[in-house]
Chain A
């Protein structure tokens, strides 16, 4: 595995499976009274957040703490950054403080990539602009595999997502979640289809390893997984679609549409949701919904990534249970 995790394209199939399998091992921890491992004791993980994202930050924070790392939260708001400090200067500061890993969330595409040029530690991209969010894709893959590739965790181990049909719905153009998922899920063998109005798809989407459809209804009966993306209301003002209601009518997942899904199909959402816009409340709260599981799986998956990037690469994964127990 590479030293950084910036794009889902950085991961080979073997890398991705190693992360998912490691996450399976770590998931067993979550059921114990003491959830902590000593693995990253003495290592420092900095959460560098330029955008407000409480859910992602606490997910990374919980992951690092469960591995006993020291966690420093650096929020750009009200900090030196707000006073005009450049990303490079912030990076040099973190470097001087001895950060072993920097988890960065930033509004600019490529920010994680740039940061990796300025720090020695590992860089984990926790979302950069409209580019990528690779740990979201990993936790989504983990969630899909658990649900559809083995009821018990051991059954899923080592398995890819071969042959599974995943439909990603909504604002693909601006979605880092969609970019990372297209790359990772196709690496793992899934057949990905993007369903969206043409205005919310990149013009060059034809070069991506996925299919494209403008018609959600025709995709639903053949989908094993439907992943709904958050739609931002301000897109309307830039004429990406005429109204929220029209968007919802054509691309929202309501109860009637959910009924067109195969029996086993699951419904995913990276959060935060706009209930009543891209997803109806009844769907979000249905048994098909994995939304709460995704949050829990986020911690486990991020633990696996931190473990493998910071300490675990030299250990064969088979030794891992000894550490866990």
Chain B
């Protein structure tokens, strides 16, 4: 990465730091493992960070004057990238702010998050996306890349000024009405078509609104027993199928948010086999939790899309392993206590996830043998950065590359998750569960945002 200058544009989210980049403290990270793909095998090495970049990689590096981080047994991953984060600011600063949300992200090993557009006001104009982008630069715990709304006010009737948001300082490339589905097929077609002009992608929240009126829980045995209005898998799958066909028809890029059913996986697999530009994400909670957890009517397990069945969870894991699903995205959705301490039907949809995502992936994908750590780096950093059109993020750890990295201790004894964290909200569905591993440190352009598992 070069110092700030007139030619620099896409990876400029850290410009506030760039004035000090050349004389910033150098860090020597000793004895870590950079996971490599299977046939090369992992290598233990030192990594030297300086000037915002990786200056050297190799065994026995020595650098006078560098600060040394020497904890045995760590693996180094490229800084994690989240394609799907709700930071709630502006509008719901009681639930989360850009500062607290990005702090949670850093603690979870993230160096970049995509801030969803369903704020108040909605991020549907250049003004709002630039505001969020600036808040991210000020907070500084990780890069904040705003997502723009597809339609004005998320109302699903009129396209927002997508081009103006793309041209703004926030350089928006991902557009989503997340929380609502762009259900009008004509509007969806136009949106997909329009963003081709600036290499944009439409991230669809796939939920047929008519099939899910009043819906509360995955339609199945649990919803029948609990008397909660059913949320059929077909409401997601029908929209995904339609959108894949639309994306193919207009030759544009579709990203499918939070895939939750086995049937959705099958459709995406088919679309990819055709060579269409379709990508997809899965959340940590859909990789681990099922609708059985709703038995106690605790709305901490209420989420959109809903928790599904064991069979869905198994298929989502397989799809993430074989690449049908490209990446893990948290859908971190903080809510204040009162939004969850209520009757199920009254409660808000959503779960926090930034601080636990990597540990959940560790448990569900690595401990099960479905993915190695190289694969985790690919699904949690490389691919989401590529889908989000981010440069300066998601690059493999190599000399000259950006010094965005996450140091993770996979051997840390499993610990019970507690609701208290850096997020302002406490609605983690993993509270009380044991998860393996620990994020030890996170570096953003060579500067630690987390050290020894605490904000630096």
A109 proximal to B (CB < 8 A)? yes
Task: Scan residues 131-158 of chain A and give those whose CB is less than 8 A from a CB of chain B.
Answer: 131-132
Cβ contact within 8 Å between A129 and B297: no
A contact residues around B219 at 8 Å (CB): 203-204
**Interface bits B280-315 vs A (CB < 8 Å: 1, else 0):** 000000000000000011000000000000000000
Chain A residue with the shortest CB-CB distance to B341: A88
Cβ contact within 8 Å between A203 and B224: yes
If A108-B346, A113-B296, A204-B220 touch, whether A179 touches B227 (CB-CB below 8 Å) is: yes
Cβ contact within 8 Å between A176 and B227: yes
User: Interface size on A (CB < 8 Å)?
Assistant: 25
Give CA–CA (A87, B232) in the complex, Å: 29
Nearest-neighbour CB distance to chain B for A228, whole angstroms, equals: 20
Nearest-neighbour CB distance to chain B for A295, whole angstroms, equals: 24
Task: Scan residues 178-202 of chain A and give those whose CB is less than 8 A from a CB of chain B.
Answer: 179, 202
A contact residues around B229 at 8 Å (CB): 130
Cβ contact within 8 Å between B224 and A109: no
Query: Of the candidates A87, A113, A129, A203, which one forms a contact with B342 in the assembled complex, judged by CB atoms under 8 Å apart?
Result: A87
If A109-B297, A110-B297, A113-B297 touch, whether A203 touches B230 (CB-CB below 8 Å) is: yes
B175 proximal to A (CB < 8 A)? no
Chain B residue with the shortest CB-CB distance to A6: B297
**Interface bits B213-237 vs A (CB < 8 Å: 1, else 0):** 1001001110111111110100000
Give CA–CA (A86, B346) in the complex, Å: 10
If A109-B297, A113-B296 touch, whether A132 touches B341 (CB-CB below 8 Å) is: no
Size bin of chain B's contact surface: 20 to 34
**Interface bits A101-119 vs B (CB < 8 Å: 1, else 0):** 0000011111101100000
Nearest-neighbour CB distance to chain B for A119, whole angstroms, equals: 14
A contact residues around B120 at 8 Å (CB): none
30 A/B residue pairs, CB under 8 Å, sorted by A: A86-B338, A86-B342, A87-B343, A87-B346, A88-B341, A88-B342, A108-B344, A108-B345, A109-B226, A109-B345, A110-B345, A111-B343, A113-B296, A113-B297, A114-B297, A114-B342, A114-B343, A114-B344, A129-B345, A130-B228, A130-B229, A131-B228, A202-B224, A202-B230, A203-B224, A203-B232, A204-B221, A205-B224, A207-B224, A238-B213
* Interfacial residues, chain B to chain A (CB-CB below 8 A): 213, 216, 219-221, 223-230, 232, 296-297, 338, 341-346
Given contacts A106-B343, A203-B232, A207-B221, 12 further A-B contacts (CB under 8 A): A86-B341, A86-B342, A88-B341, A88-B342, A109-B227, A109-B345, A110-B228, A110-B297, A114-B343, A132-B227, A202-B223, A204-B225
* Interfacial residues, chain A to chain B (CB-CB below 8 A): 86-88, 106-111, 113-114, 128-132, 176, 179, 202-205, 207-208, 238
